[in-house]
Amino acid sequence: AATFNSTIAATSATFTTADNNAQLTLVSTDADANVGPLLVMNRNSASPADNDVIGQIQFQGENSAGETINYVTLFSQIQDVTDGTEDGRFFVSAMTGGTDFSRLDLLSAETVFNQDSADIDFRVESNGNANMLFVDGGNDAVGIGGATISGASTVLQVNGDMRVENSVVLA
C-alpha cells in the first residue's frame, strides 16, 4: 500500500489484480455537501483548438477468438474553444453485431440517438408502460403506448386513448 499526497508524473501505469476487486478506488472522507470524490480529466494544452479530443474511456474485453475488443467507448471533445462561447461534446458508442455504432451523441446544438443509422430500437418507459415511447429503428416508425407497430407504411402509431386539445385531434 502506498499513500500519495502530491502530484505523480508517469508516462503510463497499469494496475493488475487476479481477482474481481476494484483496481482503483477514489475515497473522499470530507463531510460537507460539496463534490467528493472528484475525478478530473484535464487536457492542459498550450494551444487548444476546436475539435480537440479531451478524454476517452474504453471498456474492453476479449471475444471468442481472444481478440481485444472495445465494447463500449465514452468520448469527449471540445467543439468550440472560443472564450465565452465554449461548446463540448460527449459521445457513447457500443459494439452491435461486430460493428462499433454511435449510440448517443450530446452535441452543443442537439442530442442524437443512433447517429450511424443502425437497426437499433429506442424506448422510453413510464411508470406503467415499458413502451410509452418506442422507436422501431429497422422500420423507421414510432409507437406511443406500445412496441408493436402495424402496417409497413405506418410512421406513427398511437396505442390507447387519444386526446383532443384545442379542437385538434392528436393522432
Q: What are the pLDDT digits (tens) for 7-38?
A: 777 788 888 888 888 888 888 999 999 998 99
Q: CA-based Rg of the chain, rounded to a whole angstrom? A: 23
Q: For residues 82-99, give the mean pLDDT.
A: 96
- Could you give the CA distance from residue 75 to residue 143 in angstroms, rounded to a whole number? 31
Give yes or no for residue 171 having a pLDDT over 60: no
Q: Which grid cell is 107?
A: 452535441
Q: What is the pLDDT of residue 22?
A: 86
Give yes or no for residue 170 having a pLDDT over 80: no
Q: What is the pLDDT of residues 130-160, one digit of tens each?
A: 999 999 888 888 988 888 777 767 888 888 7
113 with 132: CB under 8 angstroms? Answer: no
More confident residue, 166 or 49: 49
| Burial class of 75 by CB neighbour count within 10 A (0 to 12, 13 to 18, 19+) | middle
Q: What is the pLDDT of residues 44-81, one digit of tens each?
A: 999 999 999 999 999 999 999 999 999 999 999 999 99
